[in-house]
Amino acid sequence: MAAETSPGRATSAGDVFRIASGNFLEMYDFMVFGYFAAAIGQAYFPAGDAASGLLKSLATFGAGFLMRPLGALVLGAFTDRHGRRAGLLLTLALMSVGIVTLTVTPGYATIGVLAPTLVLGGRLIQGFSAGAELGNVSVYLAEIAPPGRTGFYVSWQSASQQVAVIVAALVGVALSFVLGPAQLADWGWRLPLGLGCLLVPLLFVLRRHLRESDAFETRAAPDSIATIARHLWAARGIVLAGLGLVLMTTVSFYMITAYTPTFGKILHLPEQANLLVTAGVGASNLLWLPMMGALSDRIGRKPILIACTVLMMLTAYPAMAWLTGHPSVLRLIAVELWLSALYASYNSAMVVYLTEIVPPAVRASGFSLAYSLATAVGGFTPFIVTWLISVTGNRAVPGLWLTAAAAISLAAVVVTGRSQRRAALQKRGAL
């Protein structure tokens, strides 16, 4: 079932900007953490060697994703009951706690074990809020989109994340020119986080002026939390299929953005070049997302979903093997841009497809739960592939991780397609 849209009130570019602004902050924080994972590991997780500290830092990066399913259930149900605007304000407040905590908490050398404890707590709170943020934004955009343009409008949820990728990478590049490696590792990594903290008041002002979506306001009456829980349980098959749909998105996104600077170091490529490549990936994603979202409005979601998953399965490992065989910045750019095209094209169709197949009564909570369960796996991609490389000695192994995720997502596309066809046949039979 397609997300209901209401043409009664015109939707402006300002509406889309206000909706996606908090999504930018969430992803900006995650990207800064990923880019400076090694420095954060040294500050909060002292270890006998740099590799152990990096793994602990990446594990903390991934720990927030474990809270996303709980946040999806609690905050998604809150949004389905109290409205999209209220849900977006609440998730913004909670995610602000995470970025402020990481910015101001002293290092391990100053306050001991309390330092990693506070940082982990902040990541868990932020993960809890992020569990519903992306779903709330996607559902809101789907519900305010003009008829026939849902794919294009929903694509700006992901596009706002790509702006965050670009900004975070360019800030990292600028700092690498201004500060020396020792200064950057000691305290310089806190500067981009502080910049994110300064944005928080502005984002609250922007979101306070959001209007509620017509689709939510015209519902007969908000369901109780107990009723929403029953609807969610009845839709558990769609939620599990949605997990499979989202998996390729989360694995590929964190592979080509947050992990790229770390992977570049593993390949012994220049740090500044790695960050510039990451910024280029964000720009590539930003180009592909709205373009392919608009295409999905014209030709349908499933042709794009199937083509991208098949291409990822066929090319991910050979591309990584080619890159790692003779590492260079040019090869890194070529592989990352190819993976970016597959990720962004797939994601542009997948996000709106998921809003269309989740029942309206639990659209925010069902979408958020499916996405968060997948992110709880995909968000650990930097940790998983770093560990796999250390265990196998094969630097191309990230390609196998991408291939597995694409295979699962392809199976989910097939399963949901069959379910939609059966539902359509049953509906025609009832008529």
Q: Cα(105)–Cα(114) distance, rounded to whole angstroms?
A: 9
pTM of the model: 0.75
C-beta separation of 288 from 341 below 8 A = yes
The pLDDT, as a whole number, for residue 391 is 92
Domains and CATH numbers, the chain: 13-208+224-430 (1.20.1250.20)
The pLDDT, as a whole number, for residue 33 is 78
Q: Cα(37)–Cα(220) distance, rounded to whole angstroms?
A: 48
Let me know how many helices (H) and strands (E) the chain has, helices first.
20, 0
pLDDT in tens, the chain (431 residues): 444 444 444 456 677 777 777 778 878 887 787 777 778 877 887 665 556 666 666 676 667 777 888 888 888 888 877 777 788 888 888 888 888 888 898 988 888 888 888 888 888 888 888 888 877 888 788 878 887 888 888 888 888 888 888 888 888 888 888 888 888 878 888 898 888 888 888 888 888 777 776 666 666 566 666 777 787 788 888 889 999 999 999 999 989 987 888 899 899 999 888 888 988 998 999 899 989 989 999 999 999 999 999 999 999 999 999 999 999 999 999 999 999 999 999 999 998 899 888 887 777 778 888 888 898 888 888 889 988 998 999 999 999 999 999 999 999 999 987 766 665 555 555 44
The pLDDT, as a whole number, for residue 219 is 64
C-beta separation of 135 from 86 below 8 A = no
The pLDDT, as a whole number, for residue 1 is 43
The 10 Å CB-count burial string (b at 16+, else e) for 137-167 is bbbbbbbbbeeeebbbbbbbbbbbbbbbbbb
Tokens 């790695």 belong to which residue? 274
- Cα torsion angle, 121, 122, 123, 127, sign: positive
